[in-house]
Amino acid sequence: EAEPTPPSIRYNQVAYHTGREKLINITAEGDFAPIAFSVFDDVGGEVLAGTTGTNQVWTESGEYVTTIDISAIDTEGNYTLVANGDTIDLTITESGYEALSDAAFKYYYFNRASTEITAAYGGAYARNSGLPDDVVIVHPSAASPTRPAGTIISAPKGWFDAGDYNKYIVNSGISTYTLLAAFEHFTSYFQGRNFDIPESTNQLPDLLDEVKWNLDWMLAMQDPEDGGVYHKLTGLNFAGIIMPEDYTADRYVVQKTTAAALNLAAVTAVAARIYADYETQLPGYSAQLLAASVNAYNWALANPTIYYQQPADVFTGEYGDNNVTDEFQWAAVELFITTGDQTYGNAINISAIGNGVPFWGYTAPLALISIAAHESDLAGAIDVNAANAKLLETVDQLKTKVNGSPMRVAMGSGDFSWGSNGQASNQLMLLLMGYQMTGDESLLSAAFTASDYLLGRNATGYCFVSGFGDTPMLNPHHRISEADAVAAPVPGMVAGGPHSGQQDGCTGYASNAPARSYVDTWCSYSTNEVTINWNAPLLYAFTALHIFQNN
């Protein structure tokens, strides 16, 4: 008979914070007796001792779980926890998330298309330029009278979507929005932040330089003739394990869709109002963004049900979305905030805007976030209170989940789909949004407690952010990290995360249970890829936690 696996200690491998709850879990597949534990400071003095209490079963992991609360230790320092024959290192600090926030940002620079990454800014991850995307073929699915199939257009720059080298407008929408929302909510922080990118010496905040890299590409994805927006810029197939400089396959723009037009309309409307404050640095850019937004929105109104359909000769990511009610509302909200034009105000229907956690295919919560952030400008024009109540309903549900969960995390039933760590990051963003709206400290508390999940206090034992933690994710499905000469992956990237689909058919999964169905291998594109849309809420959340801890 096989020995049951010994209980494992699951903890935040990056940092616990002074003044905040500090939780550690012990988990095992089988039930286990109470376990004695001690915590020692860095000179070997015992500062806390105890015995674990009752175990609970966490349905999502199928494991027995108990929680150790060491919040009573509230002095900065390095500690060790000894329990069940294991010793783990713990860090307690006033401010432990700054480096992670910076790295989450820098990921976007590392994932830039059409440029070299220099040693000055990329260190060991310097690489040659690739995928210039200045010769892009209009695919038959995207043909129009003025741009028939085979027409050559130019659409350089942008960020690679993920571990692949393609660029998708729908996923760029939520990603770029989330970075811009971080800028709108924490403007002075980002105005003062130097992220060490090539543009750091210019007069624009680095975040806006980085986002402009992607906005410039998004603008080039619009057909100037009719305002329609191509759904993606892609090779016909996914590339092999190669560096950008070795990519030689033809590139295409594929099909104009309603979802693409609305994602571009929403994001360029947000960008237009933000870059308007930098007219001196970027003359005319804000106006260009707004014109693109209006043209895309009008195209969508005239073509409201053009859904993505993968052509027979194209095999890359789809980001297909057959329900664009949420995108219509989101675009109208952003255009109304930016212009005050009642044409857009009349299109807003708060009762049609859903709440919940956003993802690339569901952007309604992004509209609620923007309304909350601009409530004083909107009061009287739309029912701001109803919108805020919806957002706060979701926030309250998340807090209840954290407090009721056997592992004291926000992740639970229904949260473990492809990209579950994007879900976990967006949950944090919403809790932190709720805190900004209400000043309710219990929401900030819940966000700190739930933030442990991504950093190791989860059912896999991995710190899911590359370059951080004692057991970091090491083998992401990220072509640059896999093909380059550096052993360690590009830092600051969050893995897709566990979910039971296992669509990649890889071996080595720890379990079929949703919260444990994860494998840290290149092979596992369904659990171990990285993307711009999962890193964006990671960046938002850990930056916000850092800022609030230092207020």
* Residues annotated as catalytic (active site), given as ranges: 520, 529
With binding defined as CB under 6 A, does residue 372 bind ligand G3I? Answer: no
Q: Answer whether 35's CB lies under 8 Å from 11's CB.
A: no
Whose Cβ is closer to ligand G3I: residue 359's or residue 540's?
A: 359
Whose Cβ is closer to ligand G3I: residue 317's or residue 467's?
A: 317
Dihedrals phi, psi of 549, to nearest 5 degrees = -70, -25
With binding defined as CB under 6 A, does residue 238 bind ligand 9MR? Answer: yes
With binding defined as CB under 6 A, does residue 548 bind ligand G3I? Answer: no
Q: Rounded to whole angstroms, how far apart are CA atoms 34 and 8? A: 13
Q: Rounded to whole angstroms, how far apart are CA atoms 166 and 201? A: 29
Q: Which does 466 bind (CB under 5 to 8 A by kind): ligand 9MR, ligand G3I, none?
A: none
Please list every residue from 312 through 351 that binds ligand G3I, using CB under 6 A. 317-318
With binding defined as CB under 6 A, does residue 480 bind ligand G3I? Answer: no
In which element (H, E) is residue 25 found? strand 23-28
Q: Which does 226 bind (CB under 5 to 8 A by kind): ligand G3I, ligand 9MR, none?
A: none
Helix crossing, 206-220 with 169-185: angle to 10°? Answer: 150
With binding defined as CB under 6 A, does residue 7 bind ligand G3I? Answer: no
Query: Vertex 411, ends 413 and 457: CA angle to 5°?
Result: 135
Among 102, 133, 164, 226, binds ligand 9MR (CB under 6 A): 164
**Beta-carbon contacts of residue 221 (< 8 Å; ≥ 6 apart):** 155, 169, 229, 230, 233, 253, 260, 264
Among 102, 326, 334, 529, binds ligand 9MR (CB under 6 A): 529
DSSP string, 220-249: HTB-TTT--BEEEEE-SS---S--GGG--S
Query: Vertex 299, ends 114 and 346: CA angle to 5°?
Result: 120
Whose Cβ is closer to ligand G3I: residue 162's or residue 269's?
A: 162
Q: Which x/- pattern, by CB under 6 A, does the window 211-230 give for ligand G3I?
A: --------------------
Whose Cβ is closer to ligand 9MR: residue 164's or residue 327's?
A: 164
Among 60, 133, 161, 415, binds ligand G3I (CB under 6 A): 161
With binding defined as CB under 6 A, does residue 419 bind ligand G3I? Answer: yes
With binding defined as CB under 6 A, does residue 162 bind ligand G3I? Answer: yes
Q: Both ends of the chain: CA-CA distance in Å?
A: 55
What ranges make up the beta strands (E) of 326-467? none
Among 102, 164, 206, 210, binds ligand G3I (CB under 6 A): 164
Which has the closest alpha carbon to 250: 101, 398, 132?
132
With binding defined as CB under 6 A, does residue 417 bind ligand G3I? Answer: yes
Q: Rounded to whole angstroms, how far apart are CA atoms 257 and 153? A: 18
With binding defined as CB under 6 A, does residue 281 bind ligand G3I? Answer: no
Interacting span for ligand 9MR (CB under 6 A) from 29-37, 162-170, 214-222, 400-408:
162-170
DSSP at 352? G
With binding defined as CB under 6 A, does residue 309 bind ligand G3I? Answer: no
Q: Provide the edge-to-edge strand list for the sheet that holds 252-256.
A: 152-153, 136-138, 252-256, 230-234, 167-168
Q: Rounded to whole angstroms, how far apart are CA atoms 191 and 176? A: 17
Which one-letter amino acid corresponds to residue 118? T
Please list every residue from 499 through 538 that binds ligand G3I, using CB under 6 A. 501, 525, 529, 531
Whose Cβ is closer to ligand G3I: residue 62's or residue 320's?
A: 320
Among 525, 534, 540, 542, binds ligand 9MR (CB under 6 A): 525
DSSP at 280? T
Q: Which x/- pattern, by CB under 6 A, does the window 268-307 give for ligand 9MR?
A: ----------------------------------------
The two structure tokens encoding residue 354: 């859903």
- Residue 224: count other Cβ atoms within 10 Å of its Cβ: 13
Whose Cβ is closer to ligand G3I: residue 169's or residue 269's?
A: 169
The two structure tokens encoding residue 374: 């601009």
Report, in Å, the least distance between residue 534 CB and ligand G3I: 8
Contact residues for ligand G3I, defined by CB under 6 A: 161-162, 164, 317-318, 359, 361, 417-419, 501, 525, 529, 531
Contact residues for ligand 9MR, defined by CB under 6 A: 162-164, 238, 317, 525, 529
